[in-house]
A and B are shown apart, each in its own frame.
Chain A
Amino acid sequence: MPVDPAMKTTEQNLRDHFTEQFSDLTQSLNGGQVPEIKQLRSEAIKAFTQKGFPQGKEEEYKYTPITKALLRSEINLQSPAEVSMIPPFNEHLLPELKGHILVFWNGRLVYSSEDFPESLEVQQMDQLGADREDLMVKYFGKISNYKKDAFAALNTALFNHGSLITVKENSKVDLPVIIYHLSDARNGLVYSQTRHLVVVEKNAQVTLVEICKNLTPKQQNFHNTVSEIYLKEQAKLQLNKVQTGCSGMILVDNTDINQLEGSELMCNTITTNGTIVRNNLNITIDGMDCTSHMNGLYLAKGTDHIDNHTLVDHRIANSFSDELYKGIIDDSATGVFNGKIYVQPDAQKTNAFQSNKNILLSDKASMNTKPQLEIWADDVKCSHGATTGQIDAEQVFYLRTRGLDEQQAKGLLLYAFATEFLEHISLPALSDYLEQVIADRLYRKIDE
């Protein structure tokens, strides 16, 4: 923090700090910037300066005190330094998971595969070719709402790194694109931002994996990432967000996805730790016959805090969305789920389903769940349900009468509850890894 450490940092200090950072940044960014994006940045910082970080009363963040956590933390909020030496990162990648790999280290690209197929184009935000300008103007900042969300505003104003990924019309990228975000606070507590833009063109197909990891889990850091993803007509995307190494992180992930006619989305988000993790997943359905599946699994323990906010906005008729988020909350951890479904007047014949199921393992664990359906069309099928409870005692008793002890019975039930999530992941190497993470967590807890 640039402020006097003897003084108590306030939200205003924090806000001023980023506003100042913005004026430094505008000087340092060279003339290569597209005017439209420059304009967007200054609008975003204006919005941020006015609005500031979410505070107590703000509805969208009322259960998730990120601002307080930021103020409490001693994260160095200076714009992260250039990476002078590429740190060894191989050991932090999933060895079995093959694909086109991008590795970001404290918000900066340190490695990129080079063998991209013809159907896949990947460029970096700070080195965009002139041929990408039209694309940027057309898509960048169009679905991420900096007016609504302070973290999106901050990212839009100050981003410097991230990838622009496009998948060509009528093509299928066979291997997944895997983006690692590694945070490393060994040389000081870290703040980083990344910004991605993904365009899956007509009838194209790709699988994305985003893996977020704190390499120094005992030390805090703040990662603020924004992704905008466009699925054009008949495009197919599987997006897997893997937040399984996020101990000590304050992680804010804004992902906005826009779907056009006939496109198919499968979005899987798993979070197994984090000081505070907040995922905002916003999907706008702007075409007929779209399918959107959203699956989530969160396992919170200690004092971790995991918050998933999702929004599906059905604007056009005849589409289908369904959502299943499950959580297991232990110790004094907190889970938050807020699922909004909007069905606009033109979105007749919409089918929209949502379900949130939670198991609390301790008296001090808490879960705030809020489904929010707003339906302005009359010919629709929508449903939602949320449950929060303990492990079913009848089920535990049944298994014990078969010879399993109480811990084994509970472990088996929790494992079964959690691993349903894996059915949606089409990459065996990833689902094997996640199965191990889940088993270690749920059975180890049981062994304690």
Chain B
Amino acid sequence: MLKVENLKASIEGKQILNGVNLSVNPGEIHAIMGPNGSGKSTLASVLAGRDSYQVTEGSISFLNQDLLEMAPEDRAREGLFLAFQYPVEIPGVSTTNFLKTAVNQIREHRGQEALDAVTFLKLIKEKMKLVEIDNSLLSRALNDGFSGGEKKRNEIFQMAVLEPRLAILDETDSGLDIDALRIVANGVNTLRNKDNATIVVTHYQRLLDYIIPDFVHVLYNGRIVKSGTKELAKKLEEKGYDWIRENETTIAG
């Protein structure tokens, strides 16, 4: 479904991604871990199409299309979804308000009919239940004055409504209380099926107790330096990144 090959990207002349390789198949859950500043959000942003990054080398194919040639909205319409590490505040625009346009754009792209107001509200209600989010939050200006946890929960709500093929959750667990974490994980697991895939970027093993990954990757200095199963996450939790750092230097040296 997603194939990232030798991806190199820079911002303002500074190279951040140094040749990332990653392959994700339908039905899989991948976890990406790695120290602060290692490039996890950069990778997520490049996948979503943020144009402040320059891709200097490599390729990304998504559902057999050249992702790098596609506008962010076309990526979304094809089924890519990014839950932002830092969701943007948008005064004056409520979640319900812009999601209706979003849903219908995506439906149009798929050759489906636009949802009328009633059907859309039904969909919203159903997904609200799934992520246990309150209606009052959805009618407020998007992320404007939301608490950290509310913003994250709202991202997952949007994911639930848009039903992406590939969801990238960038530290969606950070800032969530224990109940919210369970709710978010439950949302992800419920939406999971054999046709879609999820990439979770996280610092904590805890989330991976709920969302059980098929693969765990360590992104370090802009490269995936280690991949393994969920056991790798446990090891990282215990030992931190130092042992990888040492490995990395030996490899580099």
Contact = CB atoms under 8 A, between A and B. Distances in A.
B76 A403 contact: yes
B73 A403 contact: yes
Interface string B101-116: 1110110010000000
A395 interface: yes
B101 A404 contact: yes
Interface in A379-432: 392, 394-395, 397-406, 408, 412-413, 416-417, 419-420
B148 interface: no
Contact of A408 (B87, B99, B101, B106): B101
Contact of B90 (A398, A401, A403): A398
A398 B76 contact: no
Given A401-B48, A401-B82, A412-B98, A406 B91 contact: no
Contacts of B93: 399, 412-413, 416
Interface in B24-75: 48-51, 71-73, 75
Interface in B141-174: 141, 158, 162
Given A404-B101, A405-B71, A408-B105, A399 B158 contact: no
A403 B109 CA distance: 10
Contact of A405 (B73, B91, B97, B141): B73
A402 B92 contact: no
Contacts of A392: 88
A397 B82 CA distance: 11
B92 A419 contact: yes
Nearest to A402: B102
A403 B88 contact: no
A12 B165 CA distance: 73
* SS class, residues of chain B in contact with chain A: helix
B84 interface: yes
Given A404-B101, A406-B73, A417-B92, A398 B49 contact: no
Given A397-B72, A408-B105, A412-B98, A402 B90 contact: no
Given A395-B90, A417-B92, A400 B71 contact: yes
Nearest to A411: B101
A408 B103 CA distance: 13
A406 B72 CA distance: 9
B72 A400 contact: yes
Contacts of B103: 403
Contact of B92 (A400, A403, A404, A420): A420
Given A412-B98, A412-B101, A401 B72 contact: yes
B77 interface: yes
A400 B162 contact: no
A398 B88 contact: yes
Interface residues of B, number: 31
Counting contact residues on chain A (CB < 8 A from B), the size range is: 20 to 34
A287 to B, nearest CB: 35
B71 A404 contact: no
A401 B76 contact: yes
B109 to A, nearest CB: 8
A411 to B, nearest CB: 10
Contacts of B97: 412
A400 B76 contact: yes
Nearest to A397: B50
Contacts of B51: 397
Contact of B73 (A404, A413, A417, A420): A404
A416 B71 CA distance: 24
Nearest to B109: A403
Counting chain A CB atoms within 10 Å of each CB, the highest count among B81, B88, B97 belongs to B88
B88 A402 contact: no
B166 to A, nearest CB: 12
Counting chain B CB atoms within 10 Å of each CB, the highest count among A399, A401, A412 belongs to A401
Given A412-B98, A417-B92, A403 B87 contact: no
A401 B99 CA distance: 11
B105 A404 contact: yes
Counting chain A CB atoms within 10 Å of each CB, the highest count among B71, B72, B81, B102 belongs to B72
B162 A403 contact: yes
Given A397-B72, A404-B73, A416-B92, 10 more contacts: A395-B90, A397-B49, A397-B88, A401-B75, A401-B81, A402-B158, A403-B101, A408-B105, A417-B92, A419-B92
Q: 3 closest A-B pairs (Cβ-Cβ)?
A: A416-B92, A400-B72, A403-B76
Interface of A: 392, 394-395, 397-406, 408, 412-413, 416-417, 419-420
5 contacts: A402-B99, A412-B97, A416-B90, A416-B92, A419-B92
